[in-house]
Amino acid sequence: MHDKNFIHSNSYTNLPDDFYEYRKPVRVLKPKLLKLNKDLCKYLNLNEKFLEQEGASLLSGNKIAKSSKPISLVYAGHQFGNFVDTLGDGRAVLLGEIKANNGKLFDIQLKGSGKTRFSRQGDGRSPLGPVIREYILSEAIHFLGIPTTRSLSIVTTGEFVERESKLPGGILARIASSHIRIGTFEFFHFRNQKKYLKQLADYTISRHFPELKKNKGNIYQLLLEKTISLQANLVSKWINVGFIHGVMNTDNTTISGETIDYGPCAFMNQYNPDTVYSYIDIKGRYSFGNQAQIIFWNLTRFAESLASIIDEDPNKSQKLIIASLEKFPKIFNDCWNNLVRKKFGFSKEFTGDEKIIISFLEILLKNKTDFTQAFRNLSVSIKNEEGKKKLFALFFNQNEIQSWYNQWKDRIKKENKKEEEIVKNLKITNPSIIPRNHIVENIINQVVIDENVGQLNELISMLKEPYNDYEENHIFLKPPKENEDIKNTFCGT
C-alpha cells in the first residue's frame, strides 16, 4: 500500500457542498506514532509496516494521501435536551473511506486535527488523554461484541493544548461505518431543506441499508425502523455490561447503530441505576438507568426530522411515525430480556424468572456491590466452592444472598443441562475484565507523562479476551478502593 491508495474513496463528497466543508488537517509540529491497532490494520487491509513508517505523517494529517478529499461534516443536535441548530466537526476531518477485506467501506477520520468552520471558540485540538481514553474504551466495547467505532492509531503532536493547564496534544484516527448522525438529519430538518433531507436519507440507505430498496413499504419509514432497531439493540448491550455513554446527545447517536464519541463515558463499578460519570450531567439525564429512555427520546427527534419525506400529508406522516416508534419498547425489552437472562444462565422461560433477576439487582443495589464482579463470581460459583465464597463475600447480609442463591440454584436445575455447560455459557456472557475508570486514568497518566505504553498494551491485550479467566488478584480486575474511585470524567474538547 502506498499513500496514493491509502484512501479508497470519499462518497460523502458526492452530496451537495452544504453537507460539509473541504478542510485539510492543520499541521502539527512533531508527530509521533504512539499506538497502531495492528488487528484493525489487518481487517482493513492496511499495510502495517507502511503505517509504522509513514503513520506519523499520514495519521496526524501532516501528509494527505493523494486519493483523499478531506472534509469536515456539518450537523445539528440536541445537547442535554437543548437544540443547537449548527454544530459539526469542530476538531475532526474525514479523510475518506477505506475498504475492508470483506468489501465494506469504513470512514477514517482524524480527531484533534485542528480548527474547522465548525470549531466556534474551540482550538480544534485534543489533549492526549481523551485520545487514549477513546482508544481503550472503543476497543473494549468492540471485543465485548458491541457495535462501535474503533481506533486505528494514537499520534502525539509534539505540541501542547491550552485547557485548565497546558497538556500534551494527541490525534486519534477513528474508523466508523460512517459519521451520519441523528443530528445530521436535524440540521436539514431545522432549515426545512426537504431536498437535502431526501438526499441524505437516500445516501444513508445506499451506504448502510441497501436491502431496504427491495421492500415495498415506505422506504423512509423503513429507514426509521431500522435505526430504531439498531439503537434499541445497541443500548441494551451497553446496559448488559454496565457501560455508561455519558453524553447521549442526538449528535452522538449514529444512524448505523454504532457507539460513537467516547467522552465522559465509563463502566459502572457498584451497581446503581443512578450512576453518572459526566461532571456536567448534574440532573442525571444520561445516567446508567436512563439510557433506554434517552435513546427513545433521540429516536423521536430522528422521526421528527424524517416527517416531511415520510409523507407529504402531515397527518399520514404522523400516523406512520407513531406506528414505528411504538415498536421500540418491544424491540428493546426483547433484546434486554434475552441478554439479562443469559447473565443468569437462563435459556428456558419459567414463571418466577423475572423475580429472581430483579431480586438480585435489588440486592446488588442495597449492598453497593460491584456489578461486573458479582456476575463473574456468580458464573463460576456453581461447581466452585471457592468461587461461591467470593460471591458471598461481596454482600453484607449473608442470609439474604444465601436465600436468593438457593432460589437461583433451584431454577438452574430446571435447565436440564450439565453444570459444565451452564458455567461455560455464563462465563462467555459475564466478562471478567472491563476497562475500569481508575485503571484507565492511571494508564493515561503514564502515557501522557513519559509515553510509557507498557500497561496500555497489557490492558488492551487483556480486553481483547474479556471472558477469559485471569489471575484474580491482577490489578486490572480489581474494583477501585474508595480513595481510587474516579466518579467524574471529561470529554476533553
The single residue of 251, 261, 281, 370 carrying the catalytic annotation is: 251
Task: Please state, in angstroms and as integers, the Cα–Cα distance from residue 111 to each residue in 21, 155, 288, 335, 435, following that order.
Answer: 16, 10, 26, 33, 22
CA 209, chain centre distance (Å): 20
Q: What is the largest CA-CA distance in the chain?
A: 68
What is the three-class DSSP state of 368? coil
Q: Is 370 an active-site residue?
A: no
Compute the distance between CA of residue 168 and CA of residue 447 in angstroms, rounded to an integer: 10
**Residue 125 Cα to chain centre, angstroms:** 21
Per-residue three-class SS string for 154-202? EEEEEEEEECCCEEEEEEEEEEECCCCEHHHHHHHHHCCCHHHHHHHHH
**106 pairs with which residues across the strands?**
98
Beta bridge partners of 166: 162
- Of 265, 278, 277, 280, which Cα lies nearest the Cα of 235? 265
According to DSSP, the residues that pair with 268 across neighbouring strands are: none
The HSE-up count of residue 316 (CA atoms within 13 Å, CB side) is 8
N residues, the chain: 493
CA distances from 48 to 158, 331, 474 (A): 23, 41, 31
Give me the active site residues, please: 251
